[in-house]
Amino acid sequence: MTKTTLVEEILKKQSYLCVGLDSDIEKLPKGFPKTAQGVIEFNKAIIDATAEHCVSYKVNTAFYESLGVKGWQAMEETLAHIPSTHFTIADAKRGDIGNTSAQYAKTFFEVLPFDAITVAPYMGKDSIEPFLAYANKCTIVLGLTSNEGSQNFEQQKLATGQFLYESVLEQVATWGSTDQIMFVVGATKAKEFESIRKIIPAHFILVPGVGAQGGSLEEVTKYGKNKEVGLLINASRAIIFASSENDFAEKAAQVAKQYAQEMKSLLS
């Protein structure tokens, strides 16, 4: 799926919800084995229950890679079950020297045909370029993250007066088109969206941190929305683990619907 198609789906559904499949086997509801197969069956049920309310799914690869070969198979089966109408993200946070990044790009754009991948920018342009070589894919670059440690580097002031993350946004935005590059900005930094939009007015922003981490959907939308909406709000635990009982899928659908309804009202 391209960015153009994503925008069409957002406007049609009036939802910009991304469901995060952070499927921790230790948190699977009752009745599911704590195995890769359990993850597959859980994910399929979650996808079937929430697809009408969201436009995207984000697969956090750490929860699959930790299961070894069977975890990779679970990721592959999960991806195959996601409808083609939904934008798929590999939340892998890769980024390395050029020839290594080229292999990561091949892994997540060809072997596992995701629409997008999250990458870390701190090794510079040559570590990002192999992902941008795929013209029909999106590279989602870490900008301002919601974790406490973002203060260590991202929020350090440079001699220019900019924060480091602002310099990253400004530079990376010149490396490709708005169809190819998106950014990650955490929902807990909602008030920074106003200044961030001055740097990247037309780019899509993937926003984690709404829900379990306490970010405000209303504030993120107020400060971060652009003419194409330009936001993908990710909610993971708040949706997929809304219940640990047999009604887990029903509860997941209810929470996803609540998000979607609030998004519709914020867009009207």
Domain ranges of the chain: 3-267
Report domain 3-267's class.
Answer: alpha beta
Instruction: Report the b/e string of 107-119 with b at 16+ CB within 10 A.
Output: bbbeebebbbbbb
Please tell me the distance from the alpha carbon of residue 261 to that of residue 179, in angstroms, as a whole number: 27
Please tell me the distance from the alpha carbon of residue 140 to that of residue 75, in angstroms, as a whole number: 19
Among positive and negative, which fits the CA dihedral 207, 210, 214, 220? positive
Catalytic status, residue 93: yes
Among candidate residues 13, 44, 70, 93, the one labeled active-site is 93
* Residue 107: DSSP 8-state: I
Q: Does pTM top 0.75 for this prediction?
A: yes
Tens-digit pLDDT profile for the chain (268 aa)?
Answer: 999 999 999 999 999 999 999 999 999 999 999 999 999 999 999 999 999 999 999 999 999 999 999 999 999 999 999 999 999 999 999 999 989 999 999 999 999 999 999 999 999 999 999 999 998 999 999 999 988 899 999 999 999 999 999 999 999 999 999 999 999 999 877 789 999 999 999 999 999 988 666 678 999 999 999 999 999 999 999 999 999 999 999 999 999 999 999 999 999 8
